[in-house]
Chains A and B, each alone.
Chain A
Amino acid sequence: MDFQLSEDHSMLQQQMREFADEVVAPTAEERDQQAKMPPEMIQHCAELGLFGIAIPERYGGAGLDCVASCIVVEEVSRACAGTGVMISAHNSLCVDPIMMFGTEEQKQKYLPKLASGEWLGCLSLTEPGSGSDAGAASCQAVLKDDGWHVNGTKNFVTNGGEAGVMVLIAVTDPDDRKRRLSAFIVETDTPGCTIGKLEKKLGIRCSSTAEFAFEDCVLPKDALLGEQGRGLKVALTTLNGGRIGIAAQALGIAQACLEQSAEYAKTRVQFGRPIAKLQAIQNKIAEIAIGVTAAREMVYFAAWEKDVGRDYIKSGAMAKLFAAEVCSKAANHAVQVFGGYGYCQDYPVERYLRDAKITEIYEGTSEIQRVVIARSLAG
């Protein structure tokens, strides 16, 4: 039994921390205000191999495991949660399903470009009328002689603004309750696939969240990802893994809250001494620290379960739920420690609070995680 990171993982952590501190953090505020992901940041991430963390080396990736992915997402999110989710969504929502369900031809076609960052990846699952209830999707793909004709709307597509390739979940058998949906790989420049509005969000503002309209968008027959009728399985399996990435993102934000609050409390003087001397402040710092420490164990335990080939549905759901709630509470405490300054953009903690909230919502709301965990107790 050994909870410590391996030497390789520790080195990766060190490397990511330096990248986050030197490159990601200094420009995070600017990205948040402009609500844009500059191509240079994507380029930086690509150069470090962050778009091919888990892609095997033969396709141009780094061939690393889920623990490594969590390290990357945690450390980058500690500096900028929007950049963190760009990396997480690309890897776990687009690359992973192609790796898990793709044919050799599909892998050869897409993975090298995804690994190099030439193409950013995204997942189109949610629709205006179907969020947690993913099975109720209405976007349709109908097979005709010239291929799959897709019609419908997808929204809340993370990375949609920059993505070159998406995994699309669409209805192929409307009357088959169990095998209603199928997954497809779609190149975003396919005629008939049009990007709609980019959401103006509370947080993770530099990460794009796009709407896509499909109007008789024709996909080649071999765009099908996995078997026809298995789209819900592709989506849910993908989200099971993606959840761990979001848990790591939440952990990174919470860690930043801990560091920033402790640092501020040591220097802010009131009543003649640093507020760090006040028990009220100490209790908040302790509360954040307890949550962060526990969340970190939950995240890496789930990642480890995935890496050793165990069923990680429960541990992944627990990690995501726990880390997300820790993260929001930590960010709220952090703003409180900073007082009025925390409410202003001169310090990063108000951004942390805005960013934190999304971790309780996307890739399975906290409520959905509880349903998943309770199911594991049904026995």
Chain B
Amino acid sequence: MDYDLPEDLVALKNMAAKFAAEEIAPNARDWDREANIPREVVAKLAELGFIGIFISEKYGGAGLGDLGAAVIMEEIARHCGGTALMLDAHNALCCAHFLIAANKEQKAKYLPKLASGEWLGAWALSEPGCGSDVAAMTCAAVQDGDTWVLNGTKQWITNGHYARVFVIMAKTTPEGGPKGISAFIVERDTPGLSTGPKEDKMGMRASDTVEVRLEDVRVPKEDLCGELNHAFVDAMKVLDRGRITIAAMSVGLARGALEEAVAYAKQRVAFGKPIFEQQSIQFMLADMAMEIDAGRLLAQKAALLADAGEPFTYEASIAKVFCSEMATRACLNAIQIHGGNGYTKEVPVERYMRDAKLCEIGEGSSQIQRIIIARHHLEDR
């Protein structure tokens, strides 16, 4: 038993915290308002290795595991959920799918560009009519000689505005249900692929989210990613890991809320003393601190299992649902502690709250997580 982060990850944490405080925190409000992260920030994140977190060093990545990713996500999300989400979609969805399913040639071709940040990646699963119910997918890939022809619409595609390469899930066997889905590597400039305007979102605004339209997009058969009709299983593996990073992001957002609320409560005077000395305020802060520590332990537990190659689906679901709901609670309480000030954009906690809400929805809603968790106890295994 040892609850201390290994030394190299302590160093990573300090590096990420320093970058987030110096380069992200002062600008996050602007990025939220303008709904954009300047591209030079992406380049700087790449220099730190945060764009190629999971990719091995031979392809130019940082070669980190899920625990390392969790460390980075918490520190970045501490100051900007949107920046963390951009990293999450690139690393834990797009790159992770490559690492799980792509063949050697595909890895050699794409991973160096994805690791260096030269190309940002996106991952396309959801559709206007299919979110949690993945098997209801309608986007179709039909074989035509040596190419696949893709038609359909993908929705909620994080990083889609800037991505140079997409991993796109499509039905290859229409009657196959979940066993009829395959993944394709599609470059942005492939004819027939277009993206819609950035969604005008409540939170996570710095991160871009678009619709991806596919009209007779011809994809060479060698760009099939993973085995034919196997993408549902691969996508679920991707999402399992993505849940750990969402959990870690949630912890970061909640920590931001707590730190801002503590600082505010100590300097805000009411009835002749700092409101920090009021028990009602103290108890809200105590609950936030406790739940943040619990959440971090859950995220780390799932990450450790994943890194050890052991089953972690159950633990990742628990971490995701607990941390995301905890983060929204923490942010709402932080706004409450800030009073009227908390309701304005002059302080960051209202942004944290808007960002946190997404964590309850994306990469498997809380409702889906509870089904997964309950199944673990209710189905005979």
- Residues of A that sit less than 8 Å from B by CB: 1-6, 9, 67, 258, 262, 265-266, 276, 279, 281-283, 285-287, 289-290, 293-295, 297-298, 300-301, 304-305, 315, 318, 321-322, 367, 369-371, 373-374, 376-379
**In contact, A282 and B378 (Cβ under 8 angstroms):** yes
Chain B residues near A282 (CB-CB < 8 A): 370-371, 374-375, 378
Residues of chain A with a CB closer than 8 A to B294's CB? 294-295, 297-298, 318, 322
Inside 8 A of B298's CB, which chain A residues have their CB?
A: 293-294, 297
* Interface contact B321-A370, CB-CB below 8 Å: no
With A and B bound together, what is the CA distance between A370 and B376 in angstroms?
33
Residues of A within 8 A of B63 (CB): none
With a CB–CB cut-off of 8 A, which chain A residues contact B300?
1, 3
For residue B4, CB closer than 8 A to chain A, the reply is yes
Cross-chain contact of B293 among A5, A67, A286, A315 (Cβ < 8 A): A315
A-B contact pairs, 7 of them (CB 8 A): A1-B300, A3-B1, A305-B3, A322-B291, A373-B286, A374-B282, A377-B286
Residues B258-303 near A (CB distance < 8 A): 262, 276, 279, 282-283, 285-287, 289-291, 293-295, 297-298, 300-301
In the A-B complex, the 3 residue pairs with the smallest Cβ-Cβ separation, listed nearest first, are A282-B374, A374-B282, A286-B370
Are B1 and A300 neighbours in the complex by a CB distance under 8 Å? yes
Looking at A4, A315, A367, which has the most chain B CB atoms within 10 Å of its CB? A4
Return chain A residues, CB-CB under 8 Å to B293. Answer: 298, 301, 315, 318
| Contact in complex: A1, B6 (CB < 8 Å) | yes
17 more contacts with CB within 8 A, not counting A258-B377, A322-B291, are: A1-B3, A1-B67, A279-B371, A282-B374, A286-B369, A289-B318, A294-B294, A295-B294, A318-B293, A318-B294, A321-B286, A369-B286, A370-B283, A370-B287, A374-B286, A377-B262, A377-B285
**Is there contact, CB below 8 Å, between B322 and A304?**
no
- A3 touching B371, Cβ below 8 Å: no
Kindly state the separation between the CA atoms of A105 and B374 in the bound complex, as whole angstroms.
54
Closest to A265 in B: B378
Of A258, A297, A370, the contact of B297 (CB 8 Å cutoff)? A297
Q: By the criterion CB–CB under 8 Å, are B290 and A321 in contact?
A: yes
> With A2-B304, A298-B293 as given contacts, are A286 and B374 in contact (CB-CB < 8 Å)?
yes
Judge if B175 is at the interface, Cβ distance under 8 Å. no
> Within the assembled complex, what's the spacing in Å between the Cα atoms of A9 and B262?
38
* Complex interface: chain B residues within 8 A of A374 (CB): 282-283, 285-286
B residues 349-369 near A (Cβ < 8 Å) are 369
B146 in the interface (beta carbon within 8 A): no
Q: Which residues of A contact B64 (CB under 8 A)?
A: none
Report how far A293 CA is from B377 CA in the complex, Å.
Answer: 13
* A378 adjacent to B276 (CB under 8 Å): yes
Contacting residues, chain A, for B322 (C-beta < 8 A): 290, 294
B9 neighbours in A (Cβ, 8 Å) = 1
Tell me if A285 and B285 are in contact (CB < 8 A): no
**Chain B hits for A67, CB < 8 A:** 1
Which residues of chain A have C-beta atoms less than 8 A from B315's C-beta?
293
Neighbour of B370 across the interface among A262, A283, A297, A322, CB < 8 A: A283
Q: Are B3 and A301 in contact (CB under 8 A)?
A: yes
B15 interfacial contact with A, CB 8 Å: no
- A6-B1 Cα distance, complex, nearest whole Å: 6
In the bound complex, how far is the Cα of B294 from the Cα of A9, in angstroms? 22
What B residues does A322 contact at CB under 8 A? 290-291, 294
A5 & B1 in contact (Cβ 8 Å cutoff): yes
Please tell me if B373 contacts chain A, counting CB pairs below 8 Å. Answer: yes
Chain B nearest CB from A131 CB (Å) reads 17
A199 nearest CB across to chain B (Å): 29
B5 touches A298 (CB 8 A): no
Residues of B within 8 A of A258 (CB): 377
A279 to B365, CA, bound (A): 15
